[in-house]
């Protein structure tokens, strides 16, 4: 298909899977030397965050960053089913997206911006890849176990105000707000713990927190102990990854401003 837009939707390969991505070309000249890869959250959180992350990509492109938003395998418009997804494939998806953005834009250094589980996976990737010079962790999942408990609770709450289905669950795992959660995936996620990972010392980090209830002290302390250069901001804003009563999709401008301001000054 032909396009004359500054946003380019396309597919690219990742280990036999086909990922959907949206490339946001930088809108000012000269563009910056670093590019941004946005790592979205999973399942229902992906749906609710999509609007905010598209706007974030636009704002980052406005200040000169080439940006790639992509859907993980089994999510959004990428190939595969969520039932078959696993963490190793998703980590490979981030690596492939980094390569894709570097080849498209010519940048060498990459900043990963991850939300929730996408943030946890960005953190892991940053520890493994030299080219990742900065990571933004937006309300990251620090403990996979706590995350699984949280989404199970959300599903139980949702069932309270919804008719109970007449038909039995026909797949082997659980489900959360219309998305499957396989046993393999829930086990893998439950094992995630950012406090057990050793990040790369040269990677700058920014943790931005909108959820007042979450406690990121342990993560910040962990980063401090490891000698990581990091900033932390608590920004009062809605939890955009959660379903709203009226089905609206929220865009937390305050958070987007913080992320753009931090990346603009650091990269």
Partner 1 sequence: MDEYTTLKEEAGIFGESVSLVGIVTPPATAETEAARTGVILLNPGIVHRVGAGRIYVKVARALAPIGFTSLRFDFSGIGDSPVRPDNLQFSKSAVAETRSAMDFLAQTRGIEQFILLGGCSGAKVAFDTACCDTRVLGALLINFPATEDENENAEQNGQRAAFAYYRRFAVFDLRSWGRLLTGKARYGHLVSTLWRGIKQRVCANETNSKQAEQFRLHLRALVNRRVQVTFICSEGDHRLDDLKQTGGRLLKQLSAERRIALDIIRRSDHTFSSLSDQRRLMHVLLRRAKAMVQSTVELRKASSVAATSSVLPQLQS
Give the interface size with partner 1 as a residue count (CB under 8 A): 48
How far is it, in rounded angstroms, from Cα 198 to Cα 112?
A: 17
Applying CB under 8 A, among 158, 184, 197, 251 the residue interacting with partner 1 is: 158
161 binds partner 1 (CB under 8 A): yes
Cα dihedral 172, 176, 182, 186, rounded to 10, equals -130
Residue pair 51/90 in contact by the 8 Å Cβ criterion? no
Which listed range, 176-184, 185-193, 201-209, 218-226, lies at the site for partner 1 (CB under 8 A)? 176-184
Q: Which is nearer to partner 1, 202 or 248 (CB)?
A: 248
Applying CB under 8 A, among 29, 196, 217, 245 the residue interacting with partner 1 is: 245
- Spell out, one character per residue from 12 to 41, where the chain touches partner 1: x when CB under 8 A holds, - when not: ------x-x-x-------------------
Q: Which is nearer to partner 1, 158 or 184 (CB)?
A: 158
3-state SS of the chain: helix, strand, coil percent to 5? 40, 20, 40
- Spell out, one character per residue from 88 to 127, where the chain touches partner 1: x when CB under 8 A holds, - when not: ----------------------------------------
Q: By three-state DSSP, how is residue 101 classified?
A: helix
Q: What is the DSSP string of 208-231?
A: EE--TTS--HHHHHHHHHTT--EE
How far is it, in rounded angstroms, from Cα 82 to Cα 61?
A: 30
Which listed range, 72-80, 112-120, 208-216, 225-233, lies at the site for partner 1 (CB under 8 A)? 72-80
How far is it, in rounded angstroms, from Cα 59 to Cα 137?
A: 17
How far is it, in rounded angstroms, from Cα 149 to Cα 155?
A: 10
Sites of contact with partner 1 (CB under 8 A): 1-5, 7-11, 18, 20, 22, 44, 47, 50-51, 54, 75-77, 79-82, 158, 161-171, 175, 177-180, 244-249
């Amino acid at each position: 298909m032909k396009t004359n837009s500054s946003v380019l939707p396309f597919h690219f390969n990742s280990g036999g899977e086909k990922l959907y991505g949206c490339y946001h070309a930088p809108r000012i000249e000269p563009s910056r030397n670093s590019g941004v890869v946005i790592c979205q959250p999973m399942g229902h959180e992906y749906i609710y965050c999509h609007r905010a992350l598209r706007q974030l990509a636009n704002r980052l492109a406005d200040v000169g960053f080439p940006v790639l938003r992509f859907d993980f395998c089994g999510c959004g418009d990428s190939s595969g089913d969520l039932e078959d997804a696993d963490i190793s494939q998703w980590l490979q998806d981030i690596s492939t997206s980094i390569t894709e953005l570097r080849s498209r834009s010519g940048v060498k250094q990459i900043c990963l911006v991850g939300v929730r589980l996408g943030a946890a996976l960005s953190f892991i990737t940053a520890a493994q890849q030299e080219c990742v010079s900065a990571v933004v962790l937006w309300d990251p999942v620090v403990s996979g176990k706590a995350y699984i408990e949280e989404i199970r609770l959300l599903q139980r709450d949702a069932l309270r105000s919804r008719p109970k289905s007449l038909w039995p669950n026909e797949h082997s795992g659980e489900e959360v707000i219309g998305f499957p959660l396989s046993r393999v995936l829930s086990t893998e996620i439950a094992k995630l713990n950012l406090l057990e990972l050793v990040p790369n010392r040269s990677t700058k980090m920014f943790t931005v927190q909108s959820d007042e209830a979450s406690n990121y002290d342990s993560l910040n302390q962990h980063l401090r102990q490891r000698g990581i250069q990091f900033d932390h901001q608590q920004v009062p804003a809605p939890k955009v990854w959660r379903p709203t009563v009226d089905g609206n999709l929220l865009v937390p401008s305050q958070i987007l401003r913080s992320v753009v301001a931090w990346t603009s000054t650091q990269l």
